[in-house]
Amino acid sequence: MQSEPSAGNSSQGMTAYWWSARQVAEKTIIAAGVADKISRQRKPDGSNKRVMLVMRGRQLVTQMSDVFTHAKLRHTVLMHDSGHRFEPDESIIICSKDTLESRLSTSLQLRDLSVDYVIVDEADIATSAKWLEILSRAERRIGFTATPITGSGKGLGNYYDTMIHVASVSDLISQGRLVGVPDGKVYSPYNPDLKGISISGGDYSSKLLSPRMNTPELIGDLVTEWQKHGEKRPTLICCVDKQHTRDTCERF
């Protein structure tokens, strides 16, 4: 799963890459490795290159920081009430997008912050004007995502030059990281009618989909088929919404 990006030239004069990786832990570990490698590179003035990792959500920021801490990699964290003291001179900065955005206009320390690379997690949703303002703080950007398309179904070619595909589904199955589906092991006795259901955010509208999926016939078939073929194995069932989840649990 090791890849080296080849340089591309964006219309904005920025070199940008994105990694398509399918697992959260996988993305986090690869991002940490890339950031560490960048921070070890020297600039002409003898100083180390600097990289800022930006993500949205406390959980993702904490998870990224925990990976760096476990690997004994020096870094600093910018996030409200994080328990970390922010050190703007560190070579690796892990940021909450919301905290960074709220403080850019009020903090001289952040306003003058200079980095060589910006790394963003969930690159498929980091396409708004506010996100692009943050990404433009460095000459080079790297994005990570498991779904390299926007919610409207468009690609990311307007934001990145080069795509690095970390691993395919078949690769992950052969490595034992995903469970394969043997021949003859797919059962679908009931096909719900999905005609007329609109697409929202790149997926079926959950408001319209739930009544089609949450029916006694479909849930009953689910329980019956699991009893026949589930082999009493631990099973993950994906439902449309909370009510669908509750009704499925009650039926089991």
Q: Are 210 and 194 in contact (CB under 8 A)?
A: no
Residues 121-168: pLDDT tens digits? 888 888 888 899 888 888 899 999 888 888 777 888 888 988 888 878
Question: Residue range 16-39: average pLDDT?
Answer: 76
Sheet containing 92-96: which strands, arranged edge to edge?
Answer: 76-78, 92-96, 51-55, 117-121, 140-145, 15-20, 162-165
Per-residue pLDDT, 9: 37
pLDDT at 4 over 60: no
- Domains of the chain by residue range: 15-174, 199-251
Q: Give the integer Cα–Cα distance in Å for 149 and 160.
A: 12
Domain covering 15-174: architecture: 3-Layer(aba) Sandwich (3.40)
Least confident span in 16-25, 27-36, 116-125, 222-231: 16-25
Per-residue pLDDT, 23: 55
Residues 93-126: pLDDT tens digits? 999 999 998 888 777 777 778 899 999 988 888 8
